[in-house]
Amino acid sequence: MKDTRQKKILEIIAANDIETQNQLIEALAEAGIKSTQATISRDIKELRLIKELTHYGSYRYSAPAIGEDDQIRKLSNIFKECVTSYVCAQNIVVIKTLPGLAPAACAALDKMDIENLAGTLAGDDTAFIAMMDNVSAERFCIEIDQNL
């Protein structure tokens, strides 16, 4: 029953702008599924539904994207937001980040399938990026420069 209800919730929010839990309960009832506010609240939490702003200025429930591409996009955004500077030192790229965010920067790089990336090492606000050779490190710095 729970799986069926949660699948129906995802279908409903994909097809309709649902702003409140009461609207969701009503939509489920129209689909023949009775539910309580407490159950819907738990389902929203378990499905990790979020409220997003619509083009009309109201909010609607939405399921977060969970694909690999979305994860890479999020990590790329984290990388862009946390890097404060970088320098190429032969085949090593040293990246300075906001405090505590070097591990996030390295996690982002590790997921990005960067050509000739040998590995990453993170401290608190400094990340060391080992490239296979000097040319790859220089190209990587150019790519960072174009994307920041």
Q: Do 81 and 119 belong together in one domain?
A: yes
Of the candidates 50, 46, 48, 43, the one whose C-alpha atom is nearest the C-alpha of residue 19 is: 50
Range of the domain at 18: 2-62
Long-range CB pairs of 37-42 (<8 Å, 24+ gap) are: 39/5, 40/9
Angstrom distance (rounded) from CA 95 to CA 107? 13
Q: Assess whether 77 and 52 both reside in one domain.
A: no
Task: From 62, 79, 99, give the residue that closes a domain.
Answer: 62
Q: Is the overall model pTM greater than 0.85, yes or no?
A: no
**Residues in CB range of 51: below 8 A, 6 or more apart:** 59, 60, 61, 62
- Is the pLDDT at 34 greater than 90, yes or no? yes
Report the pLDDT averaged over residues 83-97: 95
- Mapped to the 3 state alphabet, what secondary structure does 11-70 carry? HHHHHCCCCCHHHHHHHHHHCCCCCCHHHHHHHHHHHCCEEEECCCCCEEEECCCCCHHH
Report the distance separating Cα 40 and Cα 130, nearest Å: 48
CATH number at residue 43: 1.10.10.10
pLDDT averaged over the chain?
88
Same domain flag for 94 and 112 = yes
How many domains is the chain built from?
A: 2
Tens-digit pLDDT profile for residues 100-119:
999 988 988 888 878 899 99
Token look-up 């939405």 returns 62
- Does 2 have pLDDT greater than 90? no
Whether residues 125 and 77 share a domain: the answer is: yes
Picking from 16, 36, 62, the residue at the C-terminal end of a domain is 62
* Same domain (yes/no): 74, 139: yes
Average pLDDT in the 73-91 region? 86
Q: Which of 36-40, 49-53, 67-71, 135-139 has the lowest mean pLDDT?
A: 67-71
Domain match, 75 and 143 both: yes
CATH code for the domain of 135: 3.30.1360.40
